[in-house]
Amino acid sequence: MPDLIDRAKRGLLSRGELDAMAERLEHQETFEHLGDQLMVMQFAGDARYRRALERYLDFRRDPGAVDRALQVLCFNWRLSDEYFDWIVSFVEGVDWDLTLGTPSVRPEAFILAGYYLESKHSRRLLELLLRIAEDESEQPVNRGDAGRALMSATGVLPQDVPLELSPDDPRFARTVHDARERLRSEPDPPPPVPRHPVPPRALLPDYVESYLPAGALRSELVDRARRGTLSPEEVDAVAHELRHRQPDGRARERLAALLYAGDARHRDAVEPYLDGTGDAGTAGLALLVLCAGWRLTRDHLERLVDFIEQDRPELHRPAFAIAGTYLATRRSRRLLELLLHVAEDAGRPPSVRALALGALYRASDGFPGDVPTDLDERDVAYALDEARKRLPSG
């Protein structure tokens, strides 16, 4: 494979060799040479091979491969308009990008967003970058990455964009101001080419299915939602039925379907179910839809805190999983204090303390998945120490 990469760099691969590489990428079931294969396509391929790389935009077992595929498609092959929705979703961040402890896809998406806005218009993307840059609940590194993207968007030459940018840097405030000025007249033109949508399932954390009600995945409605075959009209109908609280006992099934097929446009159909009305399982599922599915945790922090504090075991595991995920990339002093308090409270049930410790471990180490509850003494000490060090700044 190194020889193949070298020949790709020098432009010596034949069309037949590239066709064969693309065929392997599109259909292979083992991936030990994936990184090298993607490099070959980066150096020697072109946009005719986009289908071979598309499958790796959701290759969550290896975020580095996702990073490379996104870079090749959007930067090397100039297909940012086609994969615009993927850039937006990755700028917002996905849980599985933390597989290696620190994100690799989100930083790449910030760079691509800045490149896009250098020469094109998108009010949606510019607003998103500004929201992240100005959001004090975001980790400083993410705010800085958004600021660096905005520097590109406001005309700063690539060689003058710093490798790192602190929100305390005077250039950061100046950039945000200039971006705000641009936003005043920024249009949102229709896409010049058809866009490749992001399947909602591609953005979901790995742990969500373990919290679905028994039998949900055997439901025809939920199965179709997972496969992406519900029409927009059918999704709207599911949300409509939730809004009107149909007395047929199918609320959980409909919530599970929206987890896979809906989006935040339907939040008003889901939020009323957070009150539980005696049904903790349905309330927990509504929390999963809004926070794990639609990434609205910041808007529901108060309810998340309530669920952690309540003596309702059905709510604890999803609530702690969402809390750990949130704190892996965001800041909330109140939530961090609560997890520390629960973890150190000898009066709490051991199972609840274990969940709090698992959430703190996730918040510190970043590894995605459900909250671990079998940490050894070393991991417990690490989670507590890191949380205490972080507490002054949230």
Q: Which tens digits make up the pLDDT trace of 318-373?
A: 999 999 999 998 999 999 999 999 999 999 999 999 999 999 999 988 777 788 99
The pLDDT of residue 389 is above 90: yes
Residue 283's pLDDT band (cuts 50, 70, 90):
very high
For residue 249, the model assigns a pLDDT of: 85
For residue 99, the model assigns a pLDDT of: 84
The rounded mean pLDDT for the chain is 93
Mean pLDDT over 189-206 rounds to: 92
For residue 343, the model assigns a pLDDT of: 96
Q: What is the 3-state secondary structure (H, E, C) of the chain?
A: CHHHHHHHHCCCCCHHHHHHHHHHHHHCCCCCCHHHHHHHHHHHCCHHHHHHHHHHHHCCCCHHHHHHHHHHHHHHCCCCCCCHHHHHHHHHCCHHHHCCCCCCHHHHHHHHHHHHHHHCCCHHHHHHHHHHHHCCCECHHHHHHHHHHHHHHCCCCHHHCCCCCCCCCHHHHHHHHHHHHHHCCCCCCCCCCCCCCCCHHHHCCCCHHHHCCCCHHHCHHHHHHHHCCCCHHHHHHHHHHHHCCCCCCCHHHHHHHHHHHCCHHHHHHHHHHHHCCCCHHHHHHHHHHHHHHCCCHHHHHHHHHHHHHCCCHHHHHHHHHHHHHHHHHECCHHHHHHHHHHHHCCCCCHHHHHHHHHHHHHHHHCCCCCCCCCCCHHHHHHHHHHHHHHHHHC
Residue 31's pLDDT band (cuts 50, 70, 90):
very high
Q: Which tens digits make up the pLDDT trace of 114-126?
A: 999 999 999 999 9
303 versus 200: which is more confidently predicted?
Answer: 303
Instruction: Please answer whether residues 196 and 86 qualify as being in contact, where contact means their C-beta atoms are separated by less than 8 angstroms.
Output: yes
Which domains are seen in the chain, by residue range? 2-183 (1.25.10), 201-271 (no CATH), 296-394 (no CATH)
For residue 86, the model assigns a pLDDT of: 98
Give the Cα separation of 173 and 179 in Å (integer).
10
Mean pLDDT over 159-179 rounds to: 96
Residue 277's pLDDT band (cuts 50, 70, 90):
low
- Of all residues in the chain, what percent carry a pLDDT higher than 90? 80
Q: Which tens digits make up the pLDDT trace of 177-189?
A: 999 999 999 999 9
* Claim: this prediction has a pTM higher than 0.95: no
The pLDDT of residue 50 is above 90: yes
Mean pLDDT over 285-289 rounds to: 95
Mean pLDDT over 89-112 rounds to: 93
The pLDDT of residue 101 is above 90: no
Give the Cα separation of 295 and 336 in Å (integer).
18
The pLDDT of residue 278 is above 70: no
Give the Cα separation of 345 and 258 in Å (integer).
37
Mean pLDDT over 257-286 rounds to: 90
Mean pLDDT over 221-227 rounds to: 93
